[in-house]
Structure 1
Amino acid sequence: MKSFWCERAWLPDGVASRVLVRAERGTIVDVSTVDTIPLGCERLYGMVLPGFANAHSHAFHRALRGRTHADGGTFWTWRDRMYALAEGLTPDGYLRLARAVYAEMAVAGVTAVGEFHYLHHGGNEMGEALRQAAADAGIRITLLDACYLAGGIGQPVTGVQELFSDGTAERWAARVADLPEDGNTRVGAAIHSVRAVPRSALSLVAGAFPDRPLHVHLSEQPAENEACLEAYGLTPTGLLHEAGALTPRTTAVHATHLTAADVGLLGSTSTGACFCPTTEADLADGIGPARELSDAGSPLSLGSDQHAVVDPLLEARGLEHGERLRSGRRGRFAPAELVAALTNHAALGWPAAGRIEPGAPADLVAIGLGSARTAGCAPDQVVLAATASDVTTVVSGGRVVARDGVHETLGDVGRLLEAVL
């Protein structure tokens, strides 16, 4: 039995003080308030939130941080740099890179990551590297294996894209079926995009694993919408709906350039929407209709995508700030709504996680309230003031994995990343 005393904790019913969390075999078994701090328990000061879920990651993109800005350009020119990086990766190199990236996430409060994985290289070695990297970093992983069959609508894969493709949806499904799950790993599916999966294959991919999470890049760029409308007479959302791909287990990533009808389809099917505000700003993607999607019935989640920043608190704040910029109004999302998006583990197939209550994984993130950023802020509004630099202690599955920005087993993350990059 492990015990954690929280000066303040974000419980399902609101913020409470002097909270004792007891855990056994990585799962919370009791939550109570106490007057006296029990001997032998881990003390977590400040504001303690449930562990964060990074619902959309491309781990290898981290190697591009701070290296793509000199010449300006667009999403499409950035993609060329990304392809060049992907071509040179090996399973061993990817293990070392992903381990460092996941350690960077762990010290920032992430306890589960959704890895949108398309670097297949003809097999499952790269996926196994990602699984091992997450285990080494002490966070759970949902490996969202992406089907990637075309270089664009009506275009074959060429060059490095051939490393992403299984050739057919049937071969993709057979390979994914060989990926085992374990206590730290879920395996889900992904439609890379309507650009990369032809209309004829969408239904097969969407239905291949009906009890697992399904993610898809959706309408990240206007050019994607234009090509889809020209080829099929449907928006990407409409095409996915036709294929039966919009369901409560589906998460649409980015969902930036949507029509009102698209928003209605996503909401009415309870399809989730994952926003990645720092990436969407970095790549000049645009600002999606987050408030409208939430109101329509789409659960929201957050991701760091290409890892221009690994800071879940900045992603949460970016969600609200994007709404303020596009609407001219403050408070589009209440702090509790931002925390719900920040801790949406259900989008990754871990429905019990993301809450401090019995039966949930013992995932706890302590945020200091005495820094230059957080001093004087109301504890229940800390999500709108703190950054990852304010994360003091991270507990994943009942085990402390990070303290004050240093990983408990992997050490200084900056040095770890420097050695890899």
Structure 2
Amino acid sequence: MRWHAAYAWLPGGVARDVTFEVEDGRFVSVTPGTDPGGAEPLPGVALPGLANAHSHAFHRALRGRTHDGGGTFWTWRERMYAVARQLDPESYLALARATYAEMALAGITCVGEFHYVHHQPDGADYDDPNAMGESLRRAAAEAGIRLTLLDTCYLAGGLSPDGHTPLNVDQQRFGDGDARAWASRVAALDDDANTRIGAAIHSVRAVPRDQLAPVVEAARGRPLHVHLSEQPAENEASQAFYGLTPTALLRAEGVLGPMTSAVHATHLTHADIAALGGTRTTACFCPTTERDLADGIGPARALADVGAPLSLGSDQHAVIDLLEEARALEMHERLNTLQRGRFQPSALLAAATNHASLGWADAGRLEAGARADLVAVRLDSPRTAGSAPEQVLLSATAPDVDTVVVDGRVVVTGGRHVLGDVGALLQDSIAPLWRTATPTDAGRDS
């Protein structure tokens, strides 16, 4: 297959008149300064496939349903539990498939799913203990994007100055008892052509210190993600009980490193920033979620300056738009510093295409030998008309995505997913979850 783009963002920057030749799901040549010939034309500017490094697929059902009472992250979480309570393998498949299809429409070619809804609501195993994870695997394949399943260790209900609390009634389905039982269950999951199996530590709140090292050992050689310092309350509890910040605790237990991603990394000390940079731990920012939940603005520029790679995620999917997440990385820095140009567009693109943090080091670049992922973004929409191709990340939004190719397969063309009406898929999968969902107060600190 051959495609031709008037503009394409290659590793050296934006080039003109670029022809892509694809065989067996990889670029065999990427050649600028060429005539279209008989190649399939791509509108606008071609970008590498975007990597959504942090997703909770079932949170998509919360969009537009959590803004009626103000509140905090902790009260928002009551609605999240209400949705989690309804899920089974069949309903999770439908919701995740529709959510991943919405991601494809936004130019996302790979997703890191931070997966902790493992068991039945009472904590009992399904006949297949990994049935919920397998639903996510199937959902991604049917939606046409790659998946890194970050199977999440979640053992405690929370952390207070007095120690860890037990799982509450809504958290029973998240837990495996201890880290070794979690690792045993995860060991039954295998990679496939469309899926990488990774691991996650939910947080220092949900995984006691003596359980961290077994998770690290089980995850060796695979991506390992962890929620880090999303809320000041987490830092206060960690300091009170352990005498350490969450970052210092994770470093002491060997969690940090080049295969690890710290998600949110919002409320950090100078020493925390130095530790993440010194260990080359990726910092995954989710700006639309962090502002939706009033979490705060993390020190992205400071982390990048000390050597921490950056990635981006849509997390709870208040918005699924990696172009907006990339733009917000810069805009939040502007709000914090009253300065513009904190990140150049090339740095924003690098964060939005960080597939390596998900275990797909051969993706995220338009070059020969890489996986044949590309995203064509229109330059003639009401949002992008007049925009320079080099600055499209500062002007475009998800609806400007016209064509998406994943491993050489066309998933989106003319702004439509091959599955058809994604809005209808979302509506059909979300509406049943709210017919019986009843938010309850599951406790603040969990």
Query: 1:212, CA displacement in angstroms?
Result: 0.2
Tell me the CA shift for residue 158 of structure 1.
1.5
Matches within 5 A, 1:140-159: 140-153=146-159, 154-159=164-169
1:119 corresponds in structure 2 to 117
Is 1:108–1:405's contact at 8 Å kept on the other side of the alignment?
no
- Is residue 177 of structure 2 the alignment partner of residue 185 of structure 1? no
> Is 1:23 aligned to 2:22, yes or no?
yes
| Residues in 2 aligned to 1:38 and 1:187: alpha-carbon distance in whole angstroms | 41
Aligned partner of 2:426 among 400, 417, 421: 417
The answer to whether the aligner puts 1:56 opposite 2:66 as a matched pair is: no
Aligned counterparts of 2:190 and 2:308: Cα–Cα separation in 1: 30
User: How far, CA to CA, are the matches of 1:347 and 1:157 in structure 2?
Assistant: 30
TM-score (norm 2): 0.93
Per the alignment, residue 11 of structure 1 pairs with 10
| Residue in structure 2 matched with residue 305 of structure 1 by the alignment | 315
CA distance in 2, matches of 1:35, 1:59: 41
Give the distance between the partners of 1:47 and 1:373, measured in 2 at CA.
14
Aligned to 2:441: none
Corresponding residue for residue 73 of structure 1: 71
Structure 2 CA distance for aligned equivalents of residues 128 and 197 of structure 1: 24
Q: Distance in 2 between matches of 1:10 and 1:33?
A: 10
Distance 2:408 2:3 in 1: 9
Aligned mates of 1:133, 1:172 — CA distance in 2:
23
Separation of aligned partners in 2, 1:109 and 1:35: 25
Q: Which consecutive residues of structure 2, in runs of 5 or more, have no partner in the other structure? A: 120-124, 431-446
Please tell me the residue identity of whatever aligns with 1:419: D
One-letter identity of the residue aligned with 2:110:
A
User: What SS is found at the alignment partner of 1:256?
Assistant: coil
Q: Is the 8 A contact 1:75 1:284 kept in 2?
A: yes
1:175 aligns with 2:185: yes
Within 5 A, what are the aligned runs for 1:239-250? 239-250=249-260
The C-alpha deviation readout for 1:149-189, integer Å capped at 9, x for no partner, is 00012101110111000001000001111011101000001
| Aligned-pair CA distance for 1:34 | 4.6
Instruction: Give the TM-score, by structure 1 length.
Output: 0.98
Task: Provide the C-alpha distance between the structure 1 equivalents of 2:291 and 2:415, rounded to a whole number of angstroms.
Answer: 25
Could you give the per-residue CA deviations for residues 52-77 of structure 1, whole angstroms, max 9, x where no partner exists?
00000000000000001001100000
Task: Decide whether the 8 Å contact of 1:10 with 1:50 is kept in 2.
Answer: yes
1:372 positional shift = 1.2
CA distance in 2, matches of 1:30, 1:21: 6
Alpha-carbon distance change, 278 to 294 in structure 1, aligned in 2, over 3 angstroms = same
Cα shift at 1:191: 0.3
- 2:444 corresponds in structure 1 to none
Equivalent of residue 100 in structure 2, options 72, 92, 102:
102
Instruction: Give, as a single letter, the amino acid of the residue that structure 1 aligns with 2:113.
Output: E
* Structure 1 residue matching 2:165: 3-state secondary structure: coil
Letter matched to residue 4 of structure 2: W
Alignment correspondent of 2:277: 267
Farther off after superposition, 351-360 or 54-63: 351-360
* 1:369 and 2:379 are equivalent in the alignment: yes
Q: Helix, strand or coil: the match of 2:37?
A: coil
Displacement of 1:135 in angstroms is 0.1
Aligned to 2:171: 161
Deviations 1:122-162 (A, max 9, x none): 32000000000000011000000000000012101110111
Counterpart CA distance in 2 for 1:405 and 1:131 is 24
Cα distance in 2 for partners of 1:374, 1:46 equals 10
The root-mean-square deviation of aligned C-alpha atoms, in Å, is 0.8
CA distance in 2, matches of 1:33, 1:372: 28
**1:359, distance to aligned residue in structure 2 (A):** 1.4
Q: Would the aligned equivalents of 2:18 and 2:34 in 1 still touch at CA under 8 Å?
A: no
Other-structure match for 2:44: 46
Question: Which residue pairs with 1:195 in the alignment?
Answer: 205
Note if contact 1:107-1:403 (Cα within 8 Å) is conserved in structure 2: no
Matching residue within 88, 92, 107 for 2:86: 88
For 1:89, what is the secondary structure of its paired residue? coil
Q: Offset at 1:358?
A: 1.2
SS at match of 2:405: strand
Where 1:411 maps in the other structure, the secondary structure is: coil
- Amino acid in structure 2 at the alignment position of 1:361: R
% identical equivalent positions: 64
Moved more, 206-215 or 251-260: 206-215
| Counterpart selection for 1:323 from 333, 336, 347 | 333
Residues 324 and 397 of structure 2 are in contact (CA less than 8 Å); yes or no, is this contact kept in structure 1?
yes
Number of aligned positions between the proteins: 418
For residues 290 and 166 of structure 1, the distance between their equivalents in structure 2, rounded to whole angstroms, comes to: 34
Partner of 1:234: 244
Structure 1: distance between partners of 2:13 and 2:91: 44
Shift in Å, 1:412: 1.4
Using the TM superposition, name which of 219-228 and 200-209 deviates more: 200-209
- Distance (whole Å) between structure 2 residues aligned to residue 37 and residue 28 of structure 1: 17
Structure 2: which amino acid aligns with 1:400? V
1:257 and 2:261 aligned: no
Say which SS state the counterpart of residue 210 (structure 2) adopts: helix
Separation (CA, whole Å) in 2 of partners of 1:117 and 1:49: 28
